[in-house]
Amino acid sequence: MSPEFAGKMNFYLNLLDQQIKMPHENPPLALFFVPISWPWMEYALKGIDKPIAVSAYQLKKVPESPADQLPSPETLAMRYPARNREREKAK
């Protein structure tokens, strides 16, 4: 993340707000996910009057095989039978 991203995001929020958003819709919202070690977010966003949410993250070691952490298709089908029936009907 670098400070110019805030300016770009403000540009896109203004574009959405004035060109795409319908009158009955809420204003667009920007979401920034920044590393905990990036202390400059406050300065990058100062003066921008659009709704912005900021969340910090910290990277953790990823398991060797992330697929081992996921449920099998059979397990998902048992947990969500209604969705499984809808998928079968669509085939």
44: CB partners within 8 A, 6+ apart:
3, 5, 6
Q: State the pLDDT confidence band at 85, using cuts at 50, 70 and 90.
A: low
Mean pLDDT of 10-26: 90
Read off the pLDDT of residues 26-82 as tens digits, 9 standing for 90 and up.
888 888 777 776 677 777 778 888 777 778 777 777 667 777 778 888 888 888 877
28 within 8 A of 50, measured Cβ to Cβ: yes
| pTM for the whole structure | 0.50
Instruction: Break the chain into its structural domains and give their ranges.
Output: 4-90
Mean pLDDT of 7-31: 88
The per-residue pLDDT for 29 is 84
Q: Strand, helix or coil at 82?
A: helix
